[in-house]
Each structure stands twice: as structure tokens, then as C-alpha cells.
Amino acid sequence: MQRNRLADEQPGDPHVTTSDSLVFSPPAGSAMLRPDFLFGAATASYQIEGAATADGRHPSIWDTFCRVPGAVHNADNGDVACDHFHRWQSDLQLISDLGFDGYRFSVSWSRVMTVDGQRNEKGLDFYKRLLDELERRGLKSFLTLYHWDLPQHLQDRGGWLNRDTATRFAEYADLMSREVAGRVSAWTTLNEPYCSAYLGHTTGRHAPGLKDVRYGVESMHHLLLGHGLATEAVRANDKAPVGLVANVCAMVPASDSPKDRRAAELSYANANTWVLDPLLLGTYPEELAELWPGVKAPVRAGDMATISTRMDYLGINYYFRSNIRSDGAHGYVEEDLPNVERTQMGWEVYPDGLRDLLLDFKHRYPGLPPIYITENGMASDDSPVAGRVADEQRLRYLNRHVAAVDQAMRQGVDVRGYFAWSLLDNFEWSYGYEKRFGLVHVDYDTQVRTPKDSALALKRFLEQRRG
């Protein structure tokens, strides 16, 4: 087994040297400086685990999608990824060594349940061992049930276009919450249903690769219904908090014209309130009727009450802002703003958007639950030089975004934790292994982990915070 550098190198070794000028530092007086504010790192099962056929795991929609010619950059796939399935102990050691308070990860549905819906003992044991080790190390465990990797056999029966998949998801949630009750700090039902519905069923950029607005609307409804049913199932078995994670995006109109302002409002509804309104208000936003004329969610009696069942927390994933102009009809197009800082993904770096969205949500949703920033980070073209990975832009990015979160907190938004995306460089979905979001560099040939300068700056901050 390959080792990680932080655990192996001794103080003073050049592999762990970084400039003292690189500092992670929330604003003075911030609530983030208190020990009860949670700092963690996040991952997802298909992006890091590998071991695609180990111990009875069967294919997910991403295993299938990766085999579609042209679907994923360089025809990459998650068969090996970061080999976390075999290296999880050293990866948890890495999380401890970096000083994090918690770890957000997801379970592979295909690993823990068989095709006929029965428990897979070996797959369950993997996550039980992981949870037990997190507890032994004093790390909070934020377990996500669904991070986009639907079992392929369910997709073969319609996937999220089939209402029955919501019921199957609740059965999976019931199994997991019975099996690991008392071991989980917080449950997440769905990660970013917008990406599953819109990218997976409307634009086809993600698995299962479908391209129809109606498919996006139908799959979103069944995803949210699955969330409500799964929330009820988890609560029947465990007392840990239950929530959902939504990705959100800031919007700015390309001009002050009424058409561009309306286009930005429609884009905001698509990216943000399409998910949040049903969860927190029990209704879909009215802008959707203008955005997609004649397309309606397949709502049945009682669905919206189930979808809007109380959440104990809301996870927010934020990365960038979009510049929006009207397409001259019912929709909008995105245009790049000139002369702005961008990441390797081409996304604009705009920390104020996170603050503004948090404040918007506080005003729009009177019953807004406590918030965790469950993903925030950036991709950069990182490579080790003499054992060091200099990623100053990432550290600036993180510092500016935690400052934006602090500004929202000072104006009354209840934020209780922040998870950096991601712990490790990993399989970045349709971008394959080209984009590197990790705090820790992964050499995919050797599986050597090298903490980047940003990770080491976070480590120093967390050590100082603990005194």
C-alpha cells in the first residue's frame, strides 16, 4: 500500500515545507474561530473509491456512462480512481493529520445492496469499518446516501423517471440507517439533485446522459420525493440530523435591460429555487412555467407535503457566479465576463455571491434550517515540484469564501460548518482526471498523496484554533 506523505515525513522534511506567508485565516472575531464550528473535507464514493467490482458491487449509471464514447474526457472512469476502497485507513489518517473536525463522504448504493434489493454484507462492512474508525479518531461523520451513482439495474427500469425509484431509495435509506444507527453524525439524503436532474436528464452532460426538459422536470420531482421518503425512513431508525445538499449559483444580468434582468431571474429559479422552494415552501417556483412552457412536474396528492418534510439542516455547495443575458425567447444564455479571475474549470471566482445567496435564502425562507457549507473549492492544474504542491490561488479562494460566509453569519445566517471540496484530487465526472479540486494531490499512477500548500495552511490554522 502506498503511503501518504504527511503521515510519513518527519518535521523539516522538504516534502512538508510550505511558505509561512500562506495562511488560512477566517476574519478576526468570526464565529468560525470557535471550537464548535465544524471544519471538514468532503469526497464522494464514485470519485474516489475504485474497486468497481469488489465484494459484490454492481454497476452504477456512472460505470455505464463512462463507457459511452465521448461522454468523459479521455475515456476516463472510476474503476480505480483514488483506490480509497483499499486505502481508506491511510486516508482517514490523512484527515486526522490535517486536523479536520469532520469528514463528509457518500455511500455507493451499488456496493451495499444487491440487484434484487437485499443487503450486501461485505459492502456494508466497508462503511461500518470506516464509521467506526472516524468515531475512534473523534471525527464527525457526514454520510451522504446519494451522490449521483444510481444502480444501473434501477436505471434499466426507468431510473429517476420512474416514480418507483423514490420508493427504492427509501428502502435503501432504511437499510443504511438501521445498519449504522448511532454511528453517523449527520445524514444527507441527496447531493445536488439539480445536477442529477438537469445535467443528467436535460443537457445529458452527466449520467444517464438523457436530453429532454421533460425528463429533467420528472426526474427532479422523483428525486425530491425520494428525499422526503428517505428522510422519514432515516428518522424512524436514527436520531442524527437529516438534511439535503443543494448546489447554488449566483446570477448577474449581462445588462440592465428588462429582458436580461428577467433572464437572470429565470436562471436563478432554474439553478436555485427549483430545488429549494419545494423543500422549504412546499411548492415549485412559478418561473418554471415561463422557463419551460407546458412542462409540469408529475405531482400527486401528498407529494409536496412529503417533499417539504422538515429538514434538520441544509447543505449548500457554492463555486461561482454566472453572467446571464436573454436568449430572446423564454430562456437565457450564459456569457463570460471579461477580466475576472477564473479557476481551471473556467468558473469565475466570486466570493460575494456566496454571501448574497445565503442572505437571499434567509429572507426568502422564514423557516430556513441551520446551514453547513458542504462544498466549496476550486480546480487548479497542480503538480508536485520537489515534493511540494504550491496552490496559492486555492488558499486565496478559500480565505475569501470563508470571509463571505462570515459576513453572512454576522447578518444572522445560521452557518455551523464548512467542508472544503475536495479532500483528494479525484475523478471529476465528465472531466475525468484532468481537473484537480483536491487539498491533497494524488498521483494516479502510484497513488501517492501529497498535501498541497493549502492543506498545510489549513492544518496550521486548525492546530492554532485548538490551542
185 Cβ contact partners less than 8 Å away, ≥ 6 residues apart: 102, 140, 141, 142, 240, 241
Write phi, then psi, for 131 (nearest 5 degrees).
-65, -40
Q: Would you state the torsion angle of the CA atoms of residues 177, 201, 48, 146, taken in this order, to the nearest 10 degrees?
A: -10
**Helix-helix angle 392-410:352-364, to 10 degrees:** 30
Res 20: pLDDT = 58
Residue 222 annotated as part of some ligand binding site: no
pLDDT digits (tens, 9 = 90+) for 34-92: 999 999 999 999 999 999 999 999 999 999 999 999 999 999 999 999 999 999 999 99
> What pTM, to 2 d.p., does this model score?
0.96
Does residue 288 belong to any structural domain of this protein?
no
Tell me the pLDDT of the chain (467 aa) as tens digits: 334 545 344 333 333 344 556 899 999 999 999 999 999 999 999 999 999 999 999 999 999 999 999 999 999 999 999 999 999 999 999 999 999 999 999 999 999 999 999 999 999 999 999 999 999 999 999 999 999 999 999 999 999 999 999 999 999 999 999 999 999 999 999 999 999 999 999 999 999 999 999 999 999 999 999 999 999 999 999 999 999 999 999 999 999 999 999 999 999 999 999 999 999 999 999 999 999 999 999 999 999 999 999 999 999 999 999 999 999 987 999 999 999 999 999 999 999 999 999 999 999 999 999 999 999 999 999 999 999 999 999 999 999 999 999 999 999 999 999 999 999 999 999 999 999 999 999 999 999 999 999 999 999 999 999 98
For residues 84 and 50, the answer to whether their CB atoms sit within 8 Å is yes
Whole-angstrom distance, CA of residue 301 vs CA of residue 180? 33
Question: What does the mean pLDDT of the chain come to?
Answer: 95
Residue 191 annotated as part of some ligand binding site: yes
* Residue with cell string 434484487: 116
Q: Would you state the torsion angle of the CA atoms of residues 92, 196, 229, 104, taken in this order, to the nearest 10 degrees?
A: 10
AA identity, residue 285: P
Whole-angstrom distance, CA of residue 244 vs CA of residue 314? 6
Terminal Cα distance for the chain, rounded: 34
Does residue 104 belong to any structural domain of this protein?
yes
Res 4: pLDDT = 53
* Residue with cell string 422549504: 280
**CATH number of domain containing 52:** 3.20.20.80
**Cell matching residue 7:** 503521515
Query: Among this protein's residues, is 135 annotated catalytic?
Result: no
Res 2: pLDDT = 38
Does residue 333 belong to any structural domain of this protein?
no
Residue 319 annotated as part of some ligand binding site: yes
Q: Which of 93, 189, 105, 92 is nearest to 141 (CA)?
A: 105
Give residue 373's domain range. Answer: 5-254+312-321+350-466
Write phi, then psi, for 281 (nearest 5 degrees).
-120, -15
Does residue 334 belong to any structural domain of this protein?
no
Task: Check 232, 290, 375, 392 and give the catalytic one.
Answer: 375
Query: Among this protein's residues, is 218 annotated catalytic?
Result: no
Residue 421 annotated as part of some ligand binding site: yes
Does residue 342 belong to any structural domain of this protein?
no
Strand, coil or helix: 168: helix
Per residue, the 3-state secondary structure of 205-268, as one string, reads CCCCCCCCHHHHHHHHHHHHHHHHHHHHHHHHHCCCCEEEEEEEEEEEECCCCHHHHHHHHHHH
Does residue 261 belong to any structural domain of this protein?
no
Residue 162 annotated as part of some ligand binding site: no
Sign of CA dihedral 362, 365, 367, 371: negative
Whole-angstrom distance, CA of residue 236 vs CA of residue 222? 21
Task: Check 192, 265, 287, 348 and give the catalytic one.
Answer: 192
Checking DSSP bridges between strand 371-375 and strand 242-253, what pairing results, if any? unpaired
Whole-angstrom distance, CA of residue 452 vs CA of residue 96? 16
Does residue 267 belong to any structural domain of this protein?
no
Residue 109 parent element (H or E): helix 109-112
For residues 319 and 271, the answer to whether their CB atoms sit within 8 Å is no
Number of domains in the chain: 1
Residue 147 annotated as part of some ligand binding site: yes
Whole-angstrom distance, CA of residue 1 vs CA of residue 86? 8
Residue 428 annotated as part of some ligand binding site: yes
pLDDT digits (tens, 9 = 90+) for 253-267: 999 999 999 999 999
Res 329: pLDDT = 87
438 Cβ contact partners less than 8 Å away, ≥ 6 residues apart: 382, 422, 423, 424, 425, 426, 452
